């Protein structure tokens, strides 16, 4: 029943969008696997959160992609052109962007969108059009269930969060905790459910579960209640802007225990906004620039030379994503055949990126390890 309704809704949405495009002078959509872009250049569309409250995520992604594109094109094996669209962190904008990139710009593949909610909204359009789409930061459960053309190199919360929770429980002997999460954000809700299950699996009692919404700025009521319960730690599932304000308010009212976060914590903006209040924040990430690796050292050096800052997880995963596409394009032997590119992507294994050794599993999710990090003296460092 659920699958039938999903197919009906997806078909109705796609049909409406394509009719709208035609009515606006965009013309009819090209055949799904026939893209009229030639000269050996693979045109890849990027949907990213480039303006608004979470723009730091999208900006990092763009920087990682641009650096990778320049390097790939210089190697000469394949040539890539990137076409950017700003989703503004909005599901409707993401839908419009994906529709435009597929039917007007005739891209062979897509990267993004930034948020899991955006992927749930726009991924079905790419899948129905049989255009490969790869999320580099979409970590919610069920992303690749959208369809056979949906991939991600972002480590799912179901893999990363349990590692962070387990490490925190062992390190700090956690017995009782509180949870906070953004209840109007699909990704944050998914992260909360994963956290709750991980706590249960580790025998940790949840004293309270408090909710808020994206763009909230006052967390006094939730944190005052949590403070009265005296938890050993607080778990938070939200994007960096809300998480940073939660940390600041918590420290202001005297909550000094560790905070364990989902993937939203993986941004330098968390530390920039929260300041010293971010110290003690814990998160699992596939990216850690402190690892000993020539590939990582070169990437960090080149990134700093170009952007005058250290790359974060979102830059690193986007950088790797474009190299994964380049490898698949080379194997496919075509810069325009969407079906061949999709099949080539599915066979990627033993790929060595800056985030580590990588392969897609049978459901097009990443097989890779995570490192548990803690903020100490304003820097992410490995929690040991």
**Residue that is written with structure tokens 């600041």 in the block:** 248
278-328 pLDDT, tens digit per residue, is 999 999 998 998 888 999 999 999 999 999 999 999 999 999 999 999 999
Q: 195: closest CA among 186, 206, 185?
A: 206
Dihedral pair phi/psi, residue 304, rounded to 5°: -65, -35
pLDDT digits (tens, 9 = 90+) for 234-276: 999 999 999 999 999 999 999 999 999 999 999 999 999 999 9
Q: What is the pLDDT of residues 150-163, one digit of tens each?
A: 999 999 988 899 99
pLDDT at 179: 98
Structure tokens at 331: 């194997």
Helix runs in the chain, H state only: 2-23, 55-75, 91-103, 116-128, 157-172, 186-201, 220-229, 240-252, 268-274, 294-307, 313-332, 338-346
Domains of the chain from N-terminus onward = 38-155+296-367 (3.40.50.2300), 158-285 (3.40.50.2300)
pTM of the model: 0.82
What is the Cα–Cα distance from 260 to 328, expressed in whole angstroms?
36
Closest CA to 212 of 233, 192, 232: 192
SS3 334: coil
CA separation for the pair 190, 195 (Å, rounded): 9
């Amino acid at each position: 029943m659920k699958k039938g309704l999903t197919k009906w809704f997806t078909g109705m949405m796609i049909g409406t969008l394509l009719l709208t495009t035609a009515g606006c002078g965009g013309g009819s959509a090209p055949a799904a696997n026939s893209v009229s872009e030639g000269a050996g250049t693979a045109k890849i569309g990027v949907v990213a959160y480039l303006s608004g409250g979470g723009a730091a995520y999208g900006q990092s992604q763009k920087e990682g992609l641009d650096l990778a594109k320049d390097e790939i094109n210089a190697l000469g094996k394949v040539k890539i052109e990137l076409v950017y669209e700003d989703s503004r962190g909005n599901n409707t904008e993401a839908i419009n962007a994906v529709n435009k990139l597929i039917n007007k710009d005739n891209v062979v593949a897509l990267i993004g969108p930034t948020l899991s909610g955006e992927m749930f909204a726009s991924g079905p359009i790419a899948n129905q059009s049989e255009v490969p789409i790869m999320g580099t930061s979409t970590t919610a459960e069920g992303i690749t269930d959208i369809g056979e053309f949906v991939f991600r190199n972002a480590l799912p919360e179901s893999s990363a969060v349990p590692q962070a929770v387990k490490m925190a429980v062992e390190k700090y002997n956690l017995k009782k905790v509180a949870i906070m999460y953004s209840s109007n954000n699909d990704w944050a809700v998914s992260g909360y459910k994963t956290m709750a299950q991980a706590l249960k699996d580790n025998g940790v009692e949840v004293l309270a579960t408090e909710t808020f919404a994206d763009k909230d700025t006052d967390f006094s009521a939730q944190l005052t209640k949590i403070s009265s319960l005296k938890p050993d730690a607080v778990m938070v599932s939200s994007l960096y802007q809300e998480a940073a304000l939660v940390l600041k308010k918590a420290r202001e009212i005297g909550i000094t225990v560790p905070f364990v976060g989902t993937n939203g914590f993986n941004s330098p903006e968390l530390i920039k906004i929260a300041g010293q209040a971010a110290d003690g924040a814990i998160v699992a990430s596939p990216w850690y620039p402190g690892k000993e690796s020539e590939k990582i050292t070169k990437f960090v050096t080149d990134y700093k030379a170009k952007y005058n800052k250290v790359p974060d997880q979102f830059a690193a995963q986007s950088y790797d994503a474009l190299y994964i596409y380049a490898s698949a394009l080379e194997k496919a032997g075509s810069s325009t055949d969407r079906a061949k590119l999709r099949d080539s992507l599915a066979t990627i294994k033993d790929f060595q990126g800056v985030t580590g050794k990588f392969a897609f599993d049978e459901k097009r999710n990443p097989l890779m390890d995570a490192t548990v990090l803690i903020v100490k003296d304003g820097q992410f460092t490995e929690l040991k």
